[in-house]
Each structure stands twice: as structure tokens, then as C-alpha cells.
Structure 1
Amino acid sequence: MSPTAAPTPVLHPLHLCIDGGGTKTSCCIASPAGILARGYAGTSNIAEVGLANCVAALILATERAIAGLPKHCMASTAWDDLERVNDRGAGHISRQSLGTVDGHPKDAGPAPPPNRTNSLTVSTAATALSTPPRTPSPPKTPDPADTLRLSPLGSDPHPHLWVVDRPSAPSITRSPVRFASVWVGLAGVDAPSDALALSGPLAQFFDIPYGPRLVIQNDAALLAAPILTNGSTAGLTVVAGTGSVCLAWGVEGGQLRYLGRRGGTGFLLGDEGSAFYIGRCALRAVVEDFDSGAPETALHALVRDKFGVQTTDGLLAKVYELDERKSASVAANQRKLAIAELSRAVVKCATEYDCERAKGVLRLSARDLAHQALPLVDGRRIAAARATLCLGGGMLGLPIYREMFLAALEEKGCTFARVEYIADAAGRGARTLAGCGEA
């Protein structure tokens, strides 16, 4: 009696979503069965670190996610089959085509779970999820002095947070895994030219032409998926992480249509309500209190401690200090992240020490973020009473700050029909692409 042959793995299409922010880059791989792997890297904000460093971070996060794929996805037979399926399909992978490759029966193996949410159609057409149509800016070119080495950010408890440093960035290679679709949401992608600059190296790495299967957008677009799944006619996505941006969306023909934008202008011109904005407001509050002779609070001590100074009169010099061992752009980005990191101390003061000065900083920042969003909810583009508000970013993930932001909107008579915080934008995007719904 011949031994029973091992069952041939059933390979379903893989989908990848990347959420690239000002502090970290998160990558998630999913199939119709659910999330399979994740990977992380440092900041990929193209406006801050340049094209070469941005691409390097995106590729590193992807490679780390691929390395975490389950063994059955990486087994030699499955790997060979995956390559054959994708080569033959030329990017048009489907459940049906997977079932017939190399003689595999169509009904081999269990069927993927049914969709629990509407699948998002990702398209670069003007009426779908696309990079907001703003005045084109010159394509960003890499600065040879600002190449990338990834190194831990001090003793930070989150090992996936990294900083940009020297020497050279990884060369562009090709992904060892082919993906049915790739959705990249990236801070700093503010015009079609930004997405176009990224499209070349990413299309080469993923071996997917820039278009409906390879979509590159602002990171706020990743939060918009719930607007399609709950019957809303419109929605607003608000990100408040290291930076901030607000995007308005309508729903037409089962797709999202871009309606308008506020913010996303970077820390020099805006980023109202972001972690950087909160850190800067805290620094100003501490310095102004010192100059006016106001009483000390817990906020003053924590701010000094974060910057390693004993007295407030030494704070300004420390804030403006640049690491001379680094290139100018890298040192400036590290300084920006240090100010953004100060937002943690502000939240700690407000929640653990009940510090009114810290609460005032948070409340002011939340009001400025609401002021940035309100022009989009004018009744002409979005009627809040029939719309969904989708929130993302680390700051809006904190209950105290999220409640202050919603209260600031309500003070202006703006109450949304639904409010949802998306804690895992990359995971939500990957599941949406794969059509596998919530975990």
C-alpha cells in the first residue's frame, strides 16, 4: 500500500498594506483567511527623509513582514507554486486561477471564509481613492548625504521605532513574494508628483505596474475604508500622529471620492493637533511660565527631564541643539521627533498627575485640530449628521485627547453620525484588500 501523499497547500492571493508615518512604518500582509504577518521600520515620511530613505524604510518593513509569513507560505513547494501562479497570472491572481494551476483541482482545500465587509475597490481613477489633486510639486530627489542606517532610538521601549542615520540605503531589489495588490499610505504624499516619484522604485520592487493594483496615497486615505462599509454617504478622516491631516470623502458607485483636504503641511507650516504640535505647545508653555514667574507644575519638571536639563533657562539651548555627528537633515528630523516625543510627558502629566497646565496644552491642541477640520464639514461637502468620522494616529488613540477633540467639534455644532478610531491602519487596509473583514 503506497503512502498517502501530503496534501498540496492551497495558495490564496496575498495582499499588502503599508502605513508610513513620521515615526514608524507598519506593513501588514493578509489573505482571504486573515492577517498573516507584520513588519516594521522607521519613518518613511517622504517630505522629511527624502525619496531614497523613504523607499528604504518601505522595503525594510516589507521584508520584515515577509520574513514573518507562516511556514506553509514559505515552504519550498508552496514558494515554487506561488511563483508559478503569479508568473502565469501576470498579476491577475484569483481564487479560480489558483485552483487550476499545475493541475490543482478547483475544489482543493477549504474555501476562504466569507467576506464580512464590503471589499474596497482601490483605483487611481479620480473618483476612487487617489492622491488628492493638488498643485504638483517638483519630484523629490534623494540627498546623497542623507542615506539610511537603521539604529535603535536610544532606550525607547518600542524596538520597532528607528531613526534615520548614515551610511548608505539598501539598494532596490525585488520582493521574493508577489502580491495581488499593494496599498501604500504615506505621510508626505501631498501631490500626484509625490506618488509618481515613489511609483518607479516601488513598481520595480513589487513587480507591479503603478495603477489599480499598486496604489500610493496619503496615509489618511487608509482610514477611509469604514466609510464604505456602514452606509454613510460621506466621511472625514483625521490623522493626528507625529503630524496631522484631514481629508474629506464622498461615496459614489461604491467607491470613495476625494472631496477636500486641510492640513498635512508639515511641522514648519502646520501639523495642528499633532504630537509635534503638542510638544511645541508644552515647550512654549514652560518657557512662558518661567519668564512670567508663574508657579512650577509637574509639566515643567517632566519637560526638563525629557531634555536632560536641570533648570528651565537651559531648555532653549537644548531644544535647538543639533547632533553635529549627523547630516543636517537627519539631525533636524531627530530634533523634530524629540519634540513630538514630548507629547507623552504632557499626556502623563494630565492623566497621572491631574496637571491643569498639561490639560490646557492638550485642550488647546485639540481645539486647533478641530479648527483645521471644520471647514471640510460645511454641509456642502460633508453633512456631519449623515457622515462617518474616522480617526487615526497615536494622539487620537488616547481617550483623553480624542474626547477633547470631539468636544471641540461639538462646541461648534459638529456631531458626526458615527465615530470610529482605527488603531491598526495597515491591518485594516490589508484586510480590506483581501476581503476578509475584521479579525
Structure 2
Amino acid sequence: MSFFLCVDCGGSKTAAVITNHDGEIVGRALGGPSNFAYMSAADFQDAIRMAVSNALKTCVSPPATEPLPLPVGPGVFASAWFGISGVDSPAAAHNAASAIAPLINLPLDGPNLTVANDTHLLAAPLRLRHDINHAVTAIAGTGSCVVSFTQDAAGSLVELARTGGWGWILGDEGGGFHVGRETFRLMMHDLANLKEKVLAQFGITGEENAAEVLPVIHIPEPHSASETANVPAYQQVAREKRLSQLSPLVFEAAFKEGDPFALRVLRNCAGALADQVAMLCLTSREDVALKPRGVKPEDAILCFGGSLVGVEDYRELVLDELKKRGCVFRYVEFVEDAAALGAISLAATGKS
């Protein structure tokens, strides 16, 4: 029997899921980081090999105790779908596919191997529905990215448009970095219960005001071990992480303590993410000639992914903001396990 393989390649881990032709998950495993933009082709290939080899252990009878070696023989995989962070161009997709194809014994340029950005995996629910033909995926974790899709006649996903995903310097609206940045931006003008906790994160107490933390936020992280001596832990973190790591404090203050300042921060961030989604949508007030690639939300599914929108209360804020902008989707889904849903959709369609 041949199997269907889906692999979600991210900056912190690699998740591989294998299903049979009935869509039943028969193998899964995790590997190390596999962001294609930040590692060599050899290291990327090793991360794929580890995850897929371990996922294959439970696909044989009796289950193996050790990872099964790659490359596999012909016919083991009917098709495979790889969603890879850091693959943002056709050239990058081709280079990644060149590292993958020999491991799983699928033709590099054949129809049964799909290699794309990891945002594509979030659109997997579209392939399981037959009454719509469009999807918008909205990722909001540390960063954010919004992409719209349609399906071609063969059932393959086709990217229509994208906004965001440009990193913390240029964007990441609605993500963790934005939450931290917005918290400090508003703290310069306001007082709140949250303020004391945020300042304490950076070792500032007493009557000092928020401006005192600005040098701590902007100072570069140490570049060598000798420079870290007597340096506070928060200063050893990359500058963008110093802000994105504040999001759990803000979420707790907003949704558990009902802090109005924290709720204001998150409403602003949710509104910014909603703006990104609305840019790709065509509402009743807009002319299709001005936005030919726009998606009609009433005929589409909105697929959320990422740690921040994994919080239901925050998703509701985003949906409320979308409603204000005239964007109400027919379906809304939070994709918690993109690799599993991708593998199941492969089996359902029988193709990549």
C-alpha cells in the first residue's frame, strides 16, 4: 500500500504526518527546525529525513523500533505535500523540492510532489469542501501573514494574493511582536494595571515611567559569550523577541483579568490583522474591476493558524473587526494541526 505524506516545516519544528488511502493517520513524528531560508540545504534535508523516518516507523507491521531509512523505495508514497517556512519564491520552492524528491522517491517536477510556503497548508480545509472555491489563510503567531487561494480544475491550490509576512521591521500586524509594540506605544500615553507587569519584565520598578524602558528595548543583544556576563536575561534576547514575548502578559491581562488597557491593545492589533484580511476580500461595497483577485468572503472559508489566533477570544476580536469591514465568511476554522489536515486532504483528493 502506498501512503500520503504531509510535512509542515517551521522555524521551531518539523511535523510529518502519514495517512493511508482511507485518510486514517498511520504515522506521525516531529523533527528539528526546517525553515528553508535560515539553513543549508543539507541541514534542511536532515530535518526532513529525521521527521519522515520516524513517522514511517508505525506504518509497517509490526511497527519498527528504529527510524526507517530514507530514501524509500518507489511507490511507498502516492503523493506528498510540503509546506515550508522560508519558501517564498518559485526558485526557493524548486531548490527545496530538489532536496526532498530523492528522499521520498517522487519525481521532482511531477504532479504528486507539492512544495510551497507553509501558509498553503492552512488552506487544506478548502480541499475538503465542495460548496466553495476560495479560502483566506491568516497566520498570527510571533509574526503574521495573510494569503488568499482558489482551486484549479484539478483540485490543486492556487495562490491569488498575499499581504504581510514581511517580518517585524516591515509588518507582522496582529502578531506577537505587534502586540508588544502596541503595548508600549499606548503605555506612553496611558496608565494601566498591565503597565507595572510589563515594566517589571525589564527590571523597571517604582515611580519610573515607560520611557525608561526604551533604551532596554532598542539596545542590541550581546554578540559573544563574554558580553553576556552580568547582562540581564531579557537583554540577551533578540530585540524583536523582547516585545513579542510580552504577548502572554497582555493576553492574560485582557482575557483573564479584564484589564481595559490590555483589551484596547488587542483590539487595535486585531483590527490591524483584520485590515490585512480585508485587503484580499471583495465586499459588496467594492468593485470587482478594481480588485480582480478579491475573494468574496460569503463564498469562502477563513482559515486561522498560529498561537495568537489559537486563543478563541482573540479570534473573536478579529472576526468582530472583520464584520465592521463588511467581511463575514461562510466558514471559519482554526487549523491546529496543519500537517494532519494536509495529509487527510491528500488522501481525500487522491492527488497533490
TM bucket, shorter chain: 0.7 to 0.9
Q: Does 1:186 align with 2:84?
A: yes
Question: Does 1:39 pair with 2:29?
Answer: yes
Which residue is equivalent to 1:105?
none
Backbone CA RMSD of aligned residues: 3.3
Summarize the Cα distance change of 1:49–1:340 in structure 2 as closer, same or farther, 3 Å threshold: farther
The CA distance in 2 between the partners of 1:429 and 1:25, in whole Å, is 14
Aligned counterpart, 2:55: 65
Instruction: Name the CA distance, whole Å, in 1 between partners of 2:179 and 2:32.
Output: 21
Counterpart selection for 1:19 from 8, 29, 32: 8
1:203 CA drift (Å): 2.4
Question: Does the aligned pair in 1 maintain the 2:180–2:243 contact within 8 Å?
Answer: yes
Pick one of 165, 186, 193 that aligns with 1:297. 193
User: Structure 1's 53 and 411: CA in aligned 2 closer, same or farther, altered over 3 A?
Assistant: farther
Cα distance, 1:61–1:314 mapped onto 2, change above 3 Å: farther
Check if 1:74 corresponds to 2:64.
Answer: yes
Q: Which residue in the other structure is 1:279 paired with? A: 180
Local SS of the residue matching 2:319:
helix
Q: Who is 2:281 aligned against?
A: 377
Q: Is the counterpart of residue 251 in structure 1 residue 151 in structure 2?
A: yes
SS at match of 1:390: strand
Aligned-pair distance for 1:183? 1.3
State whether residues 140 and 305 of structure 2, in contact with CA within 8 Å, keep that contact through their aligned partners in structure 1. Answer: yes
CA contact (8 A) 1:22 1:242 kept: no
Deviations 1:97-156 (A, max 9, x none): xxxxxxxxxxxxxxxxxxxxxxxxxxxxxxxxxxxxxxxxxxxxxxxxxxxxxxxxxxxx
Aligned counterparts of 1:228 and 1:338: Cα–Cα separation in 2: 38
How much does 1:192 deviate?
0.7
Q: Which segment drifts farther, 338-347 or 231-240?
A: 338-347
Output the amino acid matched with 2:77: F
**Matches of 1:245 and 1:64, distance apart in 2:** 30
Partner-residue secondary structure (3-state), 1:362: helix
Give SS of 1:260's match.
Answer: strand
Cα distance, 1:47 vs structure 2: 3.7
Flag the 1:325–1:63 CA change in 2: closer, same or farther, 3 A: farther
8 Å CA contact 2:36–2:96 kept in 1: the answer is no
SS of residue in 2 equivalent to 1:357:
helix
Q: Tell me, what secondary structure is at the counterpart of 1:435?
A: helix
- Identify the residue that residue 213 of structure 1 maps to in structure 2: 112
CA gap of 1:415–1:318, structure 2 versus 1, over 3 A, is closer
> Aligned equivalents of 2:57 and 2:25: distance in 1?
14
1:394 counterpart residue number: 307
Maintained 8 Å contact 2:36/2:87: yes
Q: Verify the 8 A CA contact 1:309 1:315 in the aligned structure 2.
A: no
**Out of 330, 335, 338, which is 1:422 matched to?**
335
Is the 1:264–1:271 Cα contact (8 Å) retained in structure 2?
Answer: yes
The change in CA–CA distance for 1:304 and 1:269 in structure 2 (over 3 A counts) is: same
Distance 1:216-1:303 versus aligned 2 partners, 3 A rule:
farther
Deviations 1:369-402 (A, max 9, x none): 1111212112533111222212212211111110
Matches within 5 A, 1:141-156: none
Q: Structure 1 CA distance, aligned partners of 2:45 and 2:252?
A: 34
* Residue 266 of structure 1 pairs with residue 167 of structure 2: yes
Matched with 2:229 is: none
Distance, in Å, in 2 between the alignment partners of 1:323 and 1:239 is: 30
What whole-Å deviation, never above 9, does each CA across 1:385-432 have from its counterpart, x for those lacking one?
Answer: 222212212211111110111111110111111111111111101122
Query: Do the aligned partners of 1:18 and 1:25 also contact (CA within 8 Å) in 2?
Result: yes
Q: Tell me how far apart the structure 2 counterparts of residues 427 and 373 of structure 1 sit (CA, whole Å).
A: 25
Q: Which runs of 5+ in 2 are unaligned?
A: 226-234, 289-293
Rounded Cα–Cα distance in structure 1 between residues aligned with 2:236 and 2:337: 28
The 3 A distance-change label for structure 1 pair 398 and 203 is: same
The residue aligned with 1:229 is 128
Question: Which residue of 142, 146, 171 corresponds with 1:242?
Answer: 142
Corresponding residue SS for 1:273: coil
**Deviation of 1:307 (Å):** 4.4
Q: Contact 2:125 / 2:341 at 8 angstroms: preserved in 1?
A: no
CA contact (8 A) 1:246 1:263 kept: yes
1:202 aligns with 2:202: no
Q: Secondary structure at the match of 2:253?
A: helix
CA contact (8 A) 1:304 1:315 kept: no
Unaligned runs of 5+ residues in structure 1 are 1-11, 94-177
The 2-side partners of 1:375 and 1:217 are apart by 22
**Given the two structures, how large is their TM-score scaled by the length of structure 1?**
0.64
